Structure 1
Amino acid sequence: MKSLLLAAALATAPMAAHAQAPVAEPEPPMFRAVKIVLIGDSTTAVIGGWGPSFCGQHVTSFAACINLARGGRSSGNYRTEGSWRLAMKEIGSGGFTDTYVLIQFGHNDQPGKPGRSTDLATEYPANLKRYVEEVRAAGGKPVLVTPLTRRQFKDGKLIDDLGPWAEATRKVAAETKTPLVDLHAKSYAAVQAMGAAEATRFAQVPPSPEVLAAARTGATISAQPAAPATPGASPAPAQQAQNNAAVEPMGQAKLSFDYTHLGRDGADYFSKIVTDELAVAVPALRRYLVP
């Protein structure tokens, strides 16, 4: 009898051990998460740019969106001051399937901005090419963005002062085979179509009555308070052009009216353009973007 009981116990032991073993769950499919890093000046930055609306409204939760654009920076001093070094650490940090880097400069590369300006024919394109090369070397995927248009008009015609920098950006994109978001072309066409008066709503604060009255005639005047008149001097012209170098200082944009920086309405409007163009330029990103 003892022999029979022992044999039965030995026979059921493997079955009990098998019943107690945990069931291995199947491996989940690979989770694909991407990172989008924004590089540029105040027209992309958190204060004054389209970047906040882009990251907050147009990027899904399956992608990280990091805005490292800084006010007052050009393709030159963004690197020399150390901002690019910080960006490279973010680009090479890993943990994501792909890291896309959107690069937009031009506003502060223009003449008249000491410590920021770059030569259009030589320095500016060389700087962009270097950014593209270093992003790729770090394992990232660069995307060049042409500069957002300013909103200054003369006789009903939008002044295209950033056109040469946009064209230089397009050429670098073609030469380096880099995806291009032509924000300049799209924003220029949109602002020209709506006219000077309607475009004032994109600024950070509403225009003064004088500025709005001029805009309704198809012209933009300086939004800065006029300097006190010097005795004996000729009066300033009524429609004096705004000095962009003077009103776009280094650092983050202040909350004021101008024809360059964006308030909430402007950020929402132009970030939608960036999103639509990015989905076309980089089809792999479509699933991570909200139109």
Structure 2
Amino acid sequence: MLRRTFLLLALSFSISTSHADEPRTKVALAGDSTVTDTAGWGAAFAKLLGPKAECLNFARGGQSTKSFRDSGNWKKVLDSKPAYILIQFGHNDMPGKGPNRETDPETTYRQNLITFIDEARAIGAQPIIVTSLTRRVFDKDKIRGELKPYADAATKVAAEKQVPLVDLFTRSVDLHNKLGIAESDTFNPPGKDPKTTDRTHLNPHGAEVIATLITEELRKTAPDLAKLLK
């Protein structure tokens, strides 16, 4: 009896150890501050992944599709050898951000996304395009939506290159139009200057809501990755 008990315990330990040693699937995030752990949806998204997945967040504040490559951040993404790469830019690609960051949605922004997709595929990763998170800026009672040209360009690229798309721009615009100004402001992080309001970045509540929208879209468009969600 003691021998049988010992064998059962040994087998149980062996099985649990083998599961613990299994490599987790890497899911990388590439983007600007709205994707980071501290000011965006990155950390909230990571919490929605199951135990078989690992989230690697390479998003950096102030980055565009141009500067993310020029600064070497994109190379870090590729070097991590992820299975999936979620790619979201647009905020710092807009006019007024300076020549080191600005891109045109129909030309340079489009080409940068295509290059990201091609290089991700070259290392065996599945690229997933995420359209820009909207700013919570209203004209009267509707979201202004100045990022639409970049979201439209990203949507076209995803269709042409046949990669999964998370249309976060449309989902977030619809969400905030429904919520209205006061409720949308509950997404705002606390500002250093009480006279200014940050309607671009996210507090923990906002991050959780946006991350949930992303997972809802992934279940529709990226079923293989969706299997890794809780």
Which TM-score band (shorter chain)?
A: 0.7 to 0.9
Structure 2 matches for 1:167-206, cutoff 5 A? 167-205=152-190
Q: Which runs of 4+ in 1 moved over 6 A?
A: 206-209
Whole-Å separation in 1 of the counterparts to 2:38 and 2:226: 26
Answering whether residue 59 of structure 2 is matched by residue 59 of structure 1, we say no
Equivalent residue in structure 2 for 1:106, among 78, 86, 90: 90
Structure 2 matches for 1:84-233, cutoff 5 A? 84-91=74-81, 99-114=83-98, 115-205=100-190, 224=196
3-state SS, counterpart of residue 59 of structure 1: coil
| Greater Rg by CA | 1
TM-score (norm 2): 0.87
RMSD, aligned CA: 2.2
What residue is the counterpart of 1:11 in the other structure?
A: none
Whole-Å separation in 2 of the counterparts to 1:47 and 1:146: 20
Deviation at 1:208, TM superposition (A): 8.8
Structure 2 matches for 1:31-42, cutoff 5 A? 33-42=24-33
Answering whether residue 225 of structure 2 is matched by residue 281 of structure 1, we say no
Residues 200 and 207, structure 1, Cα contact 8 Å, conserved in 2: no
Structure 2 matches for 1:75-86, cutoff 5 A? 75-86=65-76
Matched-pair identity in %: 40
Structure 1 gap segments, 5+ residues each = 1-24, 93-98, 210-222, 225-256
3-state SS, counterpart of residue 76 of structure 1: helix
Whole-Å separation in 2 of the counterparts to 1:82 and 1:33: 25
Whole-Å separation in 1 of the counterparts to 2:169 and 2:81: 25
Structure 2 matches for 1:228-267, cutoff 5 A? 257-267=197-207
Change (3 A) 1:146 1:282: same
Deviation at 1:33, TM superposition (A): 3.8
Equivalent pairs counted in the alignment come to: 213
Deviations 1:139-170 (A, max 9, x none): 11100000001000121121010111100000
Whole-Å separation in 2 of the counterparts to 1:274 and 1:207: 29
Aligned amino acid, residue 50 of structure 1: W
Residues 191 and 198, structure 2, Cα contact 8 Å, conserved in 1: no
Whole-Å separation in 1 of the counterparts to 2:25 and 2:220: 17
Deviation at 1:70, TM superposition (A): 0.5
Residues 200 and 206, structure 1, Cα contact 8 Å, conserved in 2: no
Deviations 1:178-236 (A, max 9, x none): 10001111010000111111111101117999xxxxxxxxxxxxx53xxxxxxxxxxxx
TM-score (norm 1): 0.69
Residues 45 and 211, structure 2, Cα contact 8 Å, conserved in 1: yes
Deviation at 1:134, TM superposition (A): 0.1
Whole-Å separation in 2 of the counterparts to 1:185 and 1:32: 35
What residue is the counterpart of 1:47 in the other structure?
A: 38
